Structure 1
Amino acid sequence: MVIDANMYWVPESLFTNEEVLARFVGEAPQDESTRVYLKDEGGVRQVVVEKPAGYPALNYAQGDYVLERMLADMDEAGVDVAVLKVPGANEWMSLDTCKFFNDGMAEYARLSGGRMVPLAVIPALDFTPACAAELGRCLGELGFAGVQLCSHYGDKYLDDPAFAPLFECLNEHGATVYVHHVPVPVDCASIVAYNNLRRSYGRVQDQVTAVGRELFSDFFERYPRIRMVHSMLGGAFFAVSEMLLPKPSKRADAVQRFQTDDGQLAARLREHVFFEMSHAQPWGAEQLACAVKALGADHVVFGTSYPVRREWLLDGPAFVRGLGLSEQDEALVLGGNARALYNLS
């Protein structure tokens, strides 16, 4: 089974229903941090998210989220199941809008015959009993595979005590949580003016910060039943994992400058943190193979960020098969890990 664990979804009515569009845009901050608006380009309507204002970060395009086209592209790619998620906008969506999105994803899942499995969207801050009820509805009645969150909300990363009510509820459910990068990290002033630094490296910086804060805090002691799946390979975490989790020095040093790992950090990483690639090809074959080797094939999850670039879905499985992994490791990356994390039958 090949599973795309990162397929984007927004309702097509977002581009045609003025009431839905007004509510969606109206809930965004619309200040220096964020601007959301509708534009037409080449006959295609787009909802554009600038983050910060003046710098495009996300584009949702009309026609990209038509069920029949999505299923046809999955067929062409040889993808059996897709995990649906909302890219980025859940940072500010109200409970009513989250319910609207959850209902829409549930309908796609039904019409797809089980080939699409959603992740619930839920307000993360000000987590009320009504939010807890919606979370329970999604994980129970609607049969969702897990929950999706942003890596930070405003200037708060997920280990902040402000999110305690949410994570206490998630821990009770033993939920798998997909953590999607925010288009730019909290501290972005030095990169925001440069398009590729902002749109690519900014996401990497945001994710490695989020993963590191979870590992170095008491996050998993507070929420021991939670598994976190981070996008963008955890911000290329494979490249810095050894450096961030150093072993005790083999030589005597006058000053101990680093927090060394006595095994606890590695255990948190092994038991609670998993890494979704977001899309395979942009990493390049050598880097992606290195990630699998460094993180372990049982911790790397195939995803495509479809429909950002259709080729990431259509050619993604073949790209992973070209890495030279063992048959067992290839099966884990392409579907086995997602199947276990999201309890997919």
Structure 2
Amino acid sequence: MTRLPPSLASRADDVDRITGHKRMRRNRKADWSRRMVQENWLGVEDLIWTLFIVPGTNVREPVEAMPGVFRLSVDQAVEAARHAAELGIPALAPFPNIAQDKRDETGSHILDDDNLIHAFTRAIKKAVPDIGIITDVALDPFTSHGHDGIYRDGEIVNDETVALIARAAVMQAEAGADIIAPSDMMDGRVGAIRQALDSAGHQSVGIMSYATKFASGFYGPYREAIGTADLLKGDKRSYYIDPANAVEAVRDAELDVAEGADMLMVKPGLPYLDICRALKDSFGLPTFAYQVSGEYAMIKAAAANGWIDGERVMMESLLAFKRAGCDGILSYFALEAAARIRAGHGAPALKPPF
């Protein structure tokens, strides 16, 4: 960088001569000009609300590691969904905390017609029919060992898991799910799910593939929220992607595209913005990021300690996903961010359900 001597720095004409009359600050001088040249925007329509559901009635349990986040019974989730719809949020992504006596080695409860995912989906579609439902078919909330697939002799069995989650995808579609979002990272699962859905007459149900789900340390609060933190045997590195591997991540996504994925997802979000951009540039499909529980918890904890402006960092982090090429963000901040966006547009305040 050229360092100007004091005699030159004090004279505007010499600065213009050296910079070639290019002054980047001209466009930053006022609020109106900054808004006029802004390259990326965050809207309510970019937000997908991730929420936790539990059995029972009138249940609202705080998640200790995620201030402001609750595990909700289905009736409470319906009220929350109405609020999300009023804010303009387009879709919900539920994650269940299943009773321990419903969990087994194979996650078989995912195939029960009365499980929490199906109950939630039916209730939301009846009460708030215009909001989208994005359901996961990974087995980790349903297994007694906390893994995303069938666990046998110290190994996750790929093909049996794929067969099971393909059946689960059909059941979730029949319950009213609009998009199936498989997060298990088993090989071949997108193609199997697409074939199963089409064969069952659910050609209009989309697949949002967790195309690049990394073996990350950012998932801890989520595992507390769904009750698998103390269940997990070993780790998930045999099926999640190594955080060091960007080329492998793109190859993984390429296979999902070939198998029929309609949308791609990157998880976690903020530490993997380079992957978001790579997927968008490589495939051009709608691309999403999941701002995971650890990302949420860090922002909330730092804000609670007065170390950062929590609202400002929340909005900045969400905007970063749009800058990286994402079409939307799955986030626990969705309600809070949507309210902030509406307030910025002069919309009337809406009373939150909790």
Bigger Cα Rg: 2
TM-score (norm 1): 0.49
